[in-house]
């Protein structure tokens, strides 16, 4: 990572989601997006909790960490 942020050498993270037909093994694109490169290192590498009701519960947040 460079201190200047994104550039042609750091295009970001490309994410593609496919659905695979088990009979023919043909991939069908479902969704694709590109996250831009960050300008600074993240403060933490921990994943944020998801949006499900269990993770959204403040009492349960501590129990869901590994």
* DSSP string covering 7-59: BTTB--EEEEEEEE-TTT--EEEEEEEEEPPPSS--S--SPPP-SSHHHH-HH
Count of domains forming the chain: 1
pLDDT at position 10 is: 63
The answer to whether position 16 is within a domain reads yes
The answer to whether position 19 is within a domain reads yes
From first to last of its 66 residues, the chain has per-residue pLDDT tens of 334 444 566 677 888 999 999 999 999 999 998 888 777 766 665 666 566 666 666 655 555 444
* First and final C-alpha spacing in the chain: 28
Domain, as residue range, for 32? 10-37
Under 8 Å between Cβ of 38 and 45: no
pLDDT at position 60 is: 54
The distance of Cα 28 from the centroid of its chain, to the nearest Å, equals 20
The answer to whether position 29 is within a domain reads yes
């Amino acid at each position: 990572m460079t201190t200047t942020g994104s550039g042609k050498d750091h295009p970001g993270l490309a994410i593609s989601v496919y659905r695979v037909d088990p009979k023919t093994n043909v991939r069908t694109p479902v969704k694709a997006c590109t996250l831009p490169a960050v300008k600074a290192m993240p403060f933490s590498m921990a994943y944020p909790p998801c949006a499900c009701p269990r993770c959204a519960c403040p009492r349960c947040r501590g129990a869901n960490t590994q």
